[in-house]
Amino acid sequence: MIAKKNLFSSEIKEKVQSLISEMTLEEKVGQMSQFDWGFHAINPDAGGEINLIMKELLDKGMLGSLFNLSGVEQANTLQQQAIERSRLGIPMIVGRDVIHGYRSVFPIPLAQSASWNPDLIRRTASAASKEAASDGISWVFAPMIDITRDPRWGRIAETMGEDPHLGEIMAEAWVDGAEVLDSANESLSVASCPKHFAGYGFAESGRDYNTVDVSDRVLREVILPPFRKAVDAGALSIMASFNEVNGVPACANHYLLTTILREEWGFEGVLVSDYNALGELITHGVAKDAEEACEIAIKAGTDMDMHSGIYYKYLPKLVQEGRVDESLIDAAVGRILALKIKLKLFDNAQVNPDLNQSVILSEEHVSLAREAARESIVLLKNDNDTLPLTKQLKSLAVIGPLATNINDPLGCWAADGNPDDVVSLLDGIKAKISPDTELLYAEGCDIESEDENGFEQALAVVAQADVTIIAVGESKIMSGEGNSRSELDLPGKQRELVEAAIKLGKPVVVVLFNGRPLTTVWLDEKATSIVEAWHLGIQSGNAIADVLFGDYNPSGKLTATFPRSVGQIPLYYYRKNTGRPPGGVYSSRYVDAPVQPLYPFGYGLSYTKFEYNNLVISSTSISSSDSVSVSVDITNTGSYNGDEVVQLYIRDLAASVTQPLKKLKGFSKISLLAGETKTVTFTVTPSDLAIIGVNNSLTVEPGSFQVMVGSNSEDGLIGEFVVR
Ligand code: GLC
């Protein structure tokens, strides 16, 4: 675990002060500037002023950071140039979006979070950082820990879902895994960069970059907890979000960046803007020009300017005119230099190019990719125990546009992924089944066109086979940044293909490849078995085949609610009761649809059955400083060994401010052999019971509390206790 507070030792701080005392103002603001090298590579002569500033800073050896380089040789060369040209020998820091793996691409974060396995997340984050570091990257712009309740928003794919508590646990694990501080300096150490601070996932209408308008209460109860946990876990940097919070875009929001992050939380790391977010302050309409954007951003607390050039261009002038105190510059540069010293970039910024061979796509990482993919899969439906399939089928048909697809399983942020490294579903199945099985394949249709010409051939193989597996879903560019959707069903003619196949009356298993919750109510009504396979990365096909043919009993649980329709959004489990909970005419209901989700938060089936019995609460009455333990017996009553995510939800029945019907406050993933019983005990502490009361302070208010322990957010054993 990274040291919690005191990110930077006194030795580091002393070195920082001595460097700053020798630096010119221009050198300081150069350190506060970061550019996208990929942009330069695409537009070596175009790209206007941005390129010119980048080149000027590179030539002068004053550039603080570059990102989107390609490969270790380029990183070593540019780093060498930076140090040689820098009057004080200051290295750059090289960044990259390493969101769910580097070359060994792991499942998208929304999928990984469905494993409810923080240690797995820690391991995939660490593997990703090690691969990135071997390419000269020492700053990963991850984890993305935005909370969202809106599956229209394309970046839900990058999140850990809708719940703040799960978000906290995963944020801590990701930061701990991603920040590889390698004392041996075999490979560069790596800094994490939790993002996007804050509230980005609450974009109105689910449209990326759209206005965010949340109360301070929602900000503090829902959005900030994962970031606080990331800071306490030792995050060395944080990225501010594009969106406004309470009317002020994050990179110019003093309340967010200074009052909360620095003064309340004591965060000592670097605060970097998002891509040209300083320039966007003009577009937002909070700065009349770049000079004003520069002034409000530095005064709010943005340390590093990503790819706008505004800091370099205007900070010296603002300081010379006395509009910005140089102490603000020194504080920002100090954090940037401290980060570089902490990462040992001053000691050795060259990476041994041979490291690549032993790290990139190592056997360990590929095996981890398969493990992560298996644990990310969620079994949504399995009537008549159709799954798992026998490997000795006489004949098997595989149809659908995702069956042989090796591109889309890479997911939305896999810049360094290579489709050639991906195992397709068809190949995963081929590797799994008996050579005597007649394996039939036809695509049937593509992902999004209206073309049904392939139906006939596909339905012919379905008719011929004993069982059919249908691979359908979204392309990877239907989620991720800038890719929000207004409808959440299967695109193109995929629904028609699935319905036509089901109509033939043979057993059909539907495998979904998607980057977000879908509103596939019709599928749940018509299919017998549905497997949620997200975009699972390089080992997608093998992991899905492991599940389909019983070599792995699925244990995933949804971390984002699947709504029945877009009209229900936002829909999330920790909703409030309101004064008129859904019921009769004059209640919070729809006249044309139920209010319940298609699949709730925490939902996921297994090939076996888990029975919950004997909920015991250690005390029915406690003081506000006491803890209480809640235990329950879980029995595997089926015939398969399996893993179960036991979930603990708490409800404060009456408080000074309205409380959700339930809040996740604990979970435990346990393995149970067939027939085995285990007792799981949770300790509910005062911090689990504390709420931000009407007076805005965090307190445990007296009153009755309900606990629910179950296998999803909708059903479980219920007990009560009182806080005196
Ligand atoms: C993008 C994203 C951010 C990413 C940054 C650098 O616009 O919002 O998540 O880290 O730019 O690529």
In this prediction the pTM is 0.97
Residues 68-75, mean pLDDT to the nearest whole number: 96
Question: How far, in Å, from the CA of 481 to the mean position of ligand 1?
Answer: 8
Order of strands, sheet of 610-617, starting from the edge strand that comes earlier in the sequence: 610-617, 628-636, 677-684
What are the b/e assignments for 58-85, b being 16+ CB within 10 Å?
beebbbbbbbbbeebebbbebbeebbeb
Residues 60-64, mean pLDDT to the nearest whole number: 97
pLDDT at 40 over 80: no
- Say whether 661 sits in a helix, a strand or coil: coil
Among protein residues, the one with the nearest Cα to ligand 1's atom 12 is: 97
Contact 506, 466 (CB under 8 A): yes
Please provide the average confidence, as pLDDT, over all residues in the chain.
Answer: 96
Higher pLDDT, 510 or 415: 510
Asked if the bond preceding 570 is cis, omega within 30° of 0, the reply is yes
DSSP 8-state symbol, 204? G
Note the pLDDT tens digit of each residue in 321-369: 999 999 999 999 999 999 999 999 999 899 999 988 899 999 999 999 9
The Cβ of residue 26 has, within 10 Å, a number of other Cβ atoms equal to: 13
Residues 606-623, mean pLDDT to the nearest whole number: 98
pLDDT at 43 over 70: no
Q: Which helix (H) or strand (E) holds 191?
A: none
- Residue in the block written with tokens 């070599």: 551
User: Token pair for residue 140?
Assistant: 């990963």
pLDDT at 247 over 50: yes
Note the pLDDT tens digit of each residue in 275-290: 999 999 999 999 999 9
* Atom number, ligand 1, closest to the C-alpha of residue 95: 6
The Cβ of residue 56 has, within 10 Å, a number of other Cβ atoms equal to: 14
Taking the CA of residue 369 as centre, how many other CA atoms within 13 Å lie in the half-sphere pointing to its CB? Answer: 30
Ligand 1: residue of 275, 308, 412, 413 to mutate (most ligand atoms within 8 A of CB) is 275
Contact 205, 216 (CB under 8 A): no
Question: How far, in Å, from the CA of 249 to the mean position of ligand 1?
Answer: 15
Question: How far, in Å, from the CA of 271 to the mean position of ligand 1?
Answer: 14
* Atom number, ligand 1, closest to the C-alpha of residue 68: 12
Kindly list the protein residues whose Cβ atom lies closer than 6 A to any atom of ligand 1. Answer: 97, 141, 195, 274-275, 481
Dihedral-angle region of residue 333 (phi above 0 means left; psi in -120 to 50 means alpha; beta otherwise): alpha
In sequence order, what are the residues at sequence separation of 6 or more whose Cβ sits closer than 8 angstroms to the Cβ of residue 48?
none
- Residue 183, pLDDT score: 54
Among protein residues, the one with the nearest Cα to ligand 1's atom 11 is: 275
First to last CA, the chain: 36
- High-pLDDT (> 90) share of the chain, %: 95
CA dihedral over 282, 287, 292, 296, signed as positive or negative: negative
Note the pLDDT tens digit of each residue in 212-240: 999 999 999 999 999 999 999 999 999 99
* Residue from 463, 455, 516, 508 nearest 488 by CA: 516
Ligand 1: residue of 42, 274, 276, 304 to mutate (most ligand atoms within 8 A of CB) is 274
Question: How far, in Å, from the CA of 274 to the mean position of ligand 1?
Answer: 6
Write the DSSP assignment of 96-150 as a string of letters.
E--SSBSSSB---HHHHHTT--HHHHHHHHHHHHHHHHTTT--EE---B----S-
Question: How far, in Å, from the CA of 241 to the mean position of ligand 1?
Answer: 9
Contact 261, 253 (CB under 8 A): no
- Residue 1, pLDDT score: 39
Residue type, 410: L
Write phi, then psi, for 383 (nearest 5 degrees). -65, 150
Note the pLDDT tens digit of each residue in 414-424: 989 999 999 99
**In which band, very low, low, confident or very high, does the pLDDT at 180 lie, cut at 50, 70 and 90?**
confident
In sequence order, what are the residues at sequence separation of 6 or more whose Cβ sits closer than 8 angstroms to the Cβ of residue 34?
63, 64, 65, 66, 67, 95, 272, 304, 305, 306, 307
Ligand 1: residue of 141, 200, 208 to mutate (most ligand atoms within 8 A of CB) is 141
Residue type, 479: S
Q: To 10 degrees, what angle do helices 363-376 and 118-133 make?
A: 140
Q: Which domains does the chain have, with CATH numbers?
A: 377-568 (3.40.50.1700), 610-723 (2.60.40.10)
User: Whole-angstrom Cα distance, residue 2 to residue 175?
Assistant: 9
What are the b/e assignments for 491-500, b being 16+ CB within 10 Å?
bbbbbebbeb
Cα maximum dimension of the chain: 82
* Atom number, ligand 1, closest to the C-alpha of residue 195: 9
pLDDT at 2 over 60: no
pLDDT at 108 over 70: yes
**In which band, very low, low, confident or very high, does the pLDDT at 39 lie, cut at 50, 70 and 90?**
confident
Q: Catalytic pick from 135, 146, 232, 274?
A: 274
Question: Per this entry, what is the length of the chain?
Answer: 724
User: Whole-angstrom Cα distance, residue 113 to residue 124?
Assistant: 12
Q: Which helix (H) or strand (E) holds 341?
A: helix 326-342
Contact 251, 278 (CB under 8 A): yes
**In which band, very low, low, confident or very high, does the pLDDT at 3 lie, cut at 50, 70 and 90?**
very low
* Atom number, ligand 1, closest to the C-alpha of residue 196: 9
Whether residue 274 lies in the annotated active site: yes
Dihedral-angle region of residue 395 (phi above 0 means left; psi in -120 to 50 means alpha; beta otherwise): beta
Among protein residues, the one with the nearest Cα to ligand 1's atom 7 is: 275
User: Whole-angstrom Cα distance, residue 396 to residue 410?
Assistant: 26
Question: How far, in Å, from the CA of 306 to the mean position of ligand 1?
Answer: 9
**In which band, very low, low, confident or very high, does the pLDDT at 46 lie, cut at 50, 70 and 90?**
low
- Residue in the block written with tokens 């507070």: 5
pLDDT at 47 over 70: no
